[in-house]
Structure 1
Amino acid sequence: WELKGKYPAILDQPVARELFDEGNILLDQIIADGLLKARGAYGFWPAHSDGDDIVLDDPALSFPMLRQQTAKPEGRANRCLADYVAPAGDHLGGFAVAIHGADDLAATFEAQHDDYRAIMVKALADRLAEAFAEHIHLTARRAWFEPDADPALEDLHAERFRGIRPALGYPASPDHSEKRALFQLLDAGRLGMELTESFAMTPAASVSGLIFAHPSSRYFTVGRIGKDQASDYALRRGLELSEVERWLRPNLAYDPE
């Protein structure tokens, strides 16, 4: 729809208001008739950091991480997600959520030559998956380290709370293939979630990631890395450098051989 603006001010635009109202009508129908199903899981496990690796104690599993490698002004650290896990006696969380049924519902609308609602149902499913991820993150924080957490909606939107839930394959941890370990840890197959050969998640309306409790944890972008770090990362992952370069190509500050 290519609409630009911030909510709720964007609703002053007639086209945006019409889209918002029609989206809510479809959402009400989805809820009333149970047309989409939400499934998800989270957990947290004893863990510690070892250099730039996050190591789970039980089950024995590790998440090798990447560190920012570009020059920073004095006093600013080159961040790595492993920095947010203590060298001993800490925990790491993880989650996976999915909205099922969007493709089938969209196909029903397409069969009725209603491309508008076919597109809208997929957009709603994506938003519901993100909302579910936010809900499960709050649930995990309450169960883990913030039992009385009750943030206002605007604080959730602005991420004014303790902890982060970075997705694997995105700026702070750009290797999509790390999702395999997370899916194994959560037994995501029981949720009807799978990974493609390129480690995209199915169903399409899915969100997964790690959960960190450190009070200073922040989202960041790893950015470009040199061959020295790529080689070290390959060693820590037990993979050939060429395999690592395949998954990290957008982050490489050099041309692979």
Structure 2
Amino acid sequence: VSSHFVSVHPNAGLPNEFGEYDETSEHMSANLKEFVESGYANIVGSCCGSTPEHTKAIVDAVGGLNPRQRPEGNSNTILSGLELMEIRPDSNFINIGERANITGSARFRRLIKTGKYEEALAVSRLQVEDGAQILDINMDEGMLDSEEAITRYLKLVASEPDISLVPIMVDSSKFSVIEAGLKCLQGKGIVNSISLKEGEEPFRQQAKTIRRYGAAVVVMAFDEEGQADTVERKIAICQRSYRILVDEIGFPPQDIIFDPNIFAIATGIEEHNNYAVDFIEAAKILKVQFPKSHISGGVSNVSFSFRGNDAVREAIHSVFLYHAVRAGMDMGIVNAGQLGVYADIDPALRDAVEDVVLNNDANATDQLLALADTVRGVSKERIVDDEWRKLPVNERLSHALVQGIDEFVVEDVEEARQLAHRPIHVIEGPLMDGMNVVGDLFGAGQMFLPQVVKSARVMKKAVAHLVPFIEQEQLESGSIKTNGKIVMATVKGDVHDIGKNIVGVVLQCNN
């Protein structure tokens, strides 16, 4: 991956209890030879515990081998936590988990302010489990030492592999806090954010510092005159920022993420009615002008007018993303566990939200407000609609997979098994039918990765119930045999990894 030369100087093993090194010259030189033959190194040497004998053995082992060829610079965006994340032109929308934000999550704020940092880790862990591919972390609070808080929290995050495997977005309005956070990252993260708010010189200095730390950067559409609220201003500020970053500082275009400002709509103020459209149009233009850079934003901002009505807010988020992603928005700060499925929004609510998001009707806000009173509090998190439980079992299984509901899946799979001729038919029939629906919705941009992750968990639970019956059937029939080996591989954590795992389960059951 690295476009730089690589130098390798290993120790002669780990020190023993006496502080001495036991690895032989033969073993060390053999390891280094394999490393060089694999094309990993340009310069090799030795370090602690090595002797002239070790050095001679290394020279003899690698002296005739070719050094690593330095690759051309990768024009894709590369981020990392413990695991590498490559954002390619064909990558799907990237979810940035928003809940580890002291200004946006009451629970997280309470835990941090009371010093319960270890408990606060559960917030970030849940975001990753729900499908967040990047974690946004913000400690901006007037009564808190934000630099100390973000340092303490990020060090704890680094000690939790199931959290720190994803890249970190260090989020603060204070650059001193951002720099404190950057010092704690063990991979390549993102800074959120810098802007031209205070003029070009502070912008340059901050950008140079971020470049020195090797991070990517979110650039707000914000200048000396304030936040950009029209398409024209958004584009002009982003163009000016890009010119400074790329032409003057040498910032890689692929490490620039524009945030053209997502503002609240349906506020009752006429000037705000076109805010979502302005963002969508700006994203479309920016993506054409700067194809290697990215477009992001805080999605929950768009629905702020309906704070307290989760059902309407989730509908607004889904509809907004449906259109913004098509326009070029390729990542966004979201609550990964509360993204609704576009196709499953009540049609009347979806139409009303569409009119507000796209500013189709001067009366759209009033119409949505009237409808909002009828769905207030009807959140998927709190009230479960059990009407689908009356459907035939195959349809229930499909519904459970699409919605990511695992509560009834074992009893439904058992019912389907008893109706089927063979247990494998449940997998090949209703379960795969349901996953096909998930795939179609995902491909159409009506589902996002967190929902697909939930669907895959339901599928895994369903198959786990069937496996013992399949194995028993094979045992009784004497048909246990191997049909050879199939090796399948995908990039770990990529969306295709989910499908690969499901295919693997199905193949395993067909032995």
Higher strand share: 1
Higher helix share: 2
TM (normalized to structure 2)? 0.21
